[in-house]
Amino acid sequence: MSLTTESATVGFIGIGVMGKSMARHLMDGGYKVHVYTRTAEKAAELVSQGALWEDSVSSLAAKCNVVFTIVGFPPDVEEVYLGEGGLLKNMQSGGYVVDMTTSRPDLAARIFDEAQKAGISALDAPVSGGDVGAREARLSIMVGGEKEVFDKVLPLFELMGKNIVYQGKAGAGQHTKMCNQIAIAAGMMGVCESLAYAKKAGLDPVTVLKSIESGAAGSWSLSNLAPRIIKDDFAPGFFVKHFIKDMTIAIESADAMSLEVPGLKLARQLYEKVAAEGGSESGTQALFKLYT
With binding defined as CB under 8 A, does residue 203 bind a second copy?
A: yes
Query: Based on CB atoms, which residue is closest to a second copy, 59 or 194?
Result: 194
Residues 247 and 104: their CA atoms lie apart, in Å, by 11
Burial (CB count <10 Å: 0-12, 13-18, 19+), residue 240: buried
Interface pattern 78-117 for a second copy (x via CB under 8 A): ---------------------------x------------
Q: For Cα atoms 168, 169, 170, give the angle at the middle one, nearest 5 degrees.
A: 125
With binding defined as CB under 8 A, does residue 236 bind a second copy?
A: no
With binding defined as CB under 8 A, does residue 130 bind a second copy?
A: yes
- Is residue 108 within 8 A of residue 82, CB to CB? The reply is no
Kindly write down the DSSP assignment for every residue of 81-127, as one continuous string: HHSTTSHHHHSPTT-EEEE-S---HHHHHHHHHHHHHTT-EEEE--E
Residues 158 to 187 in contact with a second copy, rule: CB under 8 A: 163, 165-168, 171-172, 175-176, 178-187
Minimal distance, residue 163 CB to a second copy, in Å: 6
As annotated, the active-site residues are 177
User: Could you tell me which of 209, 210, 70, 50 has the C-alpha nearest to residue 127?
Assistant: 70
Minimal distance, residue 122 CB to a second copy, in Å: 18
Query: Based on CB atoms, which residue is closest to a second copy, 86 or 129?
Result: 129
Query: Based on CB atoms, which residue is closest to a second copy, 95 or 171?
Result: 171
First to last CA, the chain: 57
Per CB under 8 A, residues contacting a second copy are 105, 128-130, 140, 142, 163, 165-168, 171-172, 175-176, 178-191, 193-198, 200-204, 207-208, 210-212, 214-222, 224, 238, 250, 253-254, 257, 259-264, 266-267, 270, 291
